[in-house]
Amino acid sequence: MSPQLFYCIDLVIAIAIPVLFIWLFATGKVSKFSWVMFWAGCAIGALWELPFFFIGPVFLADPLYLLKAPIPYPLFLLHIVHCFWDGGIFMVGLLLVRKLCRPPTFVRFKWQELLVLLVWGGLQELAVELMSAGSSGWAFVPHWWNPVMFKFNGADITLIPQLIWVAAPVIFYLAAIRVTKATR
């Protein structure tokens, strides 16, 4: 897949995600809990997506990541729409918890629920990095604080993105428990 096509598909899907959730909520197909958790997931994603813009190639000579090909829209937009991706990814994790764990879910801390979110978070992050390496989209730059885990398609797959998806599901899970209590 060409980098231009990769970035265009990335943008279209990212914009479709909040549009879908707005429609689902407006038509009563998702609960208030799911509505709030989608936007919480987007906000949690912003905790790294927005700083990544400022530690990226626009501002630093030795950035956290490099674009392997120019993107067809402003780089800041990529980071904004990736917050929507993150919200959608968290919602898939929420669905997996509901499918794989005994109800009621998200009412109190349960290791099994958190484990589902952690495994999903790690697997999807790895898949995203491998797709980007395979499409020549972006690549994270190794640093002493972002070591290489392995190489794929000539690109370094580094630790920081994986660590983010160890911390983020914990934050999302704890928020889900609080939101469950607040929306009952």
How does pLDDT run across 86-102, given as a tens digit for each residue? 999 999 999 999 999 99
pTM for the predicted model, two decimal places: 0.94
- How much is the average pLDDT of 14-33? 97
Alpha-carbon distance of 4 to 136, in angstroms, equals: 9
Reply yes or no on whether the pLDDT at 2 is more than 80. no
- The total number of structural domains in the chain stands at 1
Alpha-carbon distance of 120 to 89, in angstroms, equals: 9
Main-chain dihedrals φ then ψ at residue 144, nearest 5 degrees = -60, -30
pLDDT digits (tens, 9 = 90+) for 62-90: 999 998 888 889 999 999 999 999 999 99
Provide the pLDDT for residue 45: 98
Provide the pLDDT for residue 69: 83
Question: Where is pLDDT greater, at 53 or 4?
Answer: 53
- How much is the average pLDDT of 161-172? 97
Query: Which of 88, 70, 76, 55 lies closest to 7 in space, CA to CA?
Result: 70
pLDDT digits (tens, 9 = 90+) for 126-158: 999 898 877 767 889 999 999 999 998 888 899
Residue 134 DSSP code: H
- How much is the average pLDDT of 14-29? 97
Percentage of the chain lying above the pLDDT 70 cut = 99
Provide the pLDDT for residue 1: 67
pLDDT digits (tens, 9 = 90+) for 110-130: 999 999 999 999 999 999 989
Tokens of 134: 């395979």
Average pLDDT, the chain: 93
CA 146-138-38 angle, 5° bins: 85
Tokens of 27: 């038509």
Query: Which of 150, 91, 147 lies closest to 120 in space, CA to CA?
Result: 91
Alpha-carbon distance of 117 to 99, in angstroms, equals: 12
Structural domain of 93 = 3-182
| Count of beta carbons in the 10 Å neighbourhood of residue 115 | 15
